[in-house]
Structure 1
Amino acid sequence: MSITLPAWRTSAGLLLGSLLLAGCNTPKPLYQWESYQPQVYQYFNGQSKEEQAIALERDLEKIKAKNGAVPPGYHAQLGLLYSELGRDDQMVQQFNTEKALFPESAAYMDFLLSNAGQGAKR
């Protein structure tokens, strides 16, 4: 049983087309960023801390609703905002959440928590 040249070309063309289409598939992003990056920019640009916290909280709800993954630093940024707004209990919660999700951030989160404790004593 031999394959004729036109049949072989058709099979090869279909295989090549399938491979090309499979290569066009866009990978799913690892994290859902929402407006996190613009909010970090606004943090350094002087936007109201309250507005930034509200925006990050809103985006966090969107991410949770989509069962998405929160990007690294998201909870830390929200914790910093809570710290500046005097919401220390929420700050501690966000820093601990960041540590749990991203263990490599533990040293920095512990540093921020220890400095927050010293700031409260002053």
Structure 2
Amino acid sequence: MLTKTRYLFILAATFMFAGCASVTESGYYWGNYSETYYEYIKAPSEQTVTNHLNELNNIVDTSKKKGLKVPPGIYAEIGYITAKRGDSDDSIAYYRQEAELYPESKGFIERLISDQK
């Protein structure tokens, strides 16, 4: 069974190869995800996690403005960071958004939610 951290790392590593394109062939907007995630992993600090969280929120906002589906894992990652910062109510809301948008993630998301309760 994958731990939450390992899952997020695998998920992020997968998306790091999305490149710098504004919108990928699959129709997702990734913004500067690769860069901010790399900086966060390379030198974890409150500043790098804040920069990455800001980029995640930018991806959500830009995707909505462009009429695109928010990429898989983005809401879950926002929820995870939010949970690490101690806001379990908001993190659960983000987890639920992920499960609603990507029903195939529901089992994993439900485990994340139950771990917080």
The answer as to whether partners of 1:36 and 1:74 remain within 8 angstroms in 2 is no
Q: Does 1:38 align with 2:35?
A: yes
Question: How far, CA to CA, are the matches of 1:51 and 1:72 in structure 2?
Answer: 19
The answer as to whether partners of 1:40 and 1:77 remain within 8 angstroms in 2 is no
Gaps of 5+ in 1: 1-26, 118-122
Secondary structure of 1:32's aligned partner? coil
Question: What is the deviation of 1:30?
Answer: 2.0
The answer as to whether partners of 1:79 and 1:95 remain within 8 angstroms in 2 is yes
Question: How far, CA to CA, are the matches of 1:54 and 1:103 in structure 2?
Answer: 25
**Amino-acid identity (%):** 25
Question: How far, CA to CA, are the matches of 1:28 and 1:54 in structure 2?
Answer: 24
> How many residues align structurally?
91
Question: How far, CA to CA, are the matches of 2:40 and 2:108 in structure 1?
Answer: 19
Q: Does 1:106 align with 2:103?
A: no
Q: In the superposition, relative to structure 1, how do residues 72 and 55 fare at CA in structure 2: closer, same or farther (>3 Å)?
A: same
Q: Which amino acid aligns with 2:90?
A: Q
Gaps of 5+ in 2: 1-23
* Deviation per residue, 1:40-89 (Å, 9 max, x gap): 43443314233322221123212211111211101011100100111212
Task: Compute the TM-score of the two structures, normalised by the length of structure 2.
Answer: 0.67
Structure 1 residue runs of 4+, over 4 Å off? none
Q: After TM superposition, list the pairs within 5 Å mapping 1:18-37 onto structure 2.
A: 29-37=26-34
> What residue is the counterpart of 1:64 in the other structure?
64
Task: Compute the TM-score of the two structures, normalised by the length of structure 1.
Answer: 0.64
Question: How far, CA to CA, are the matches of 1:77 and 1:43 in structure 2?
Answer: 13
Question: How far, CA to CA, are the matches of 1:54 and 1:79 in structure 2?
Answer: 13
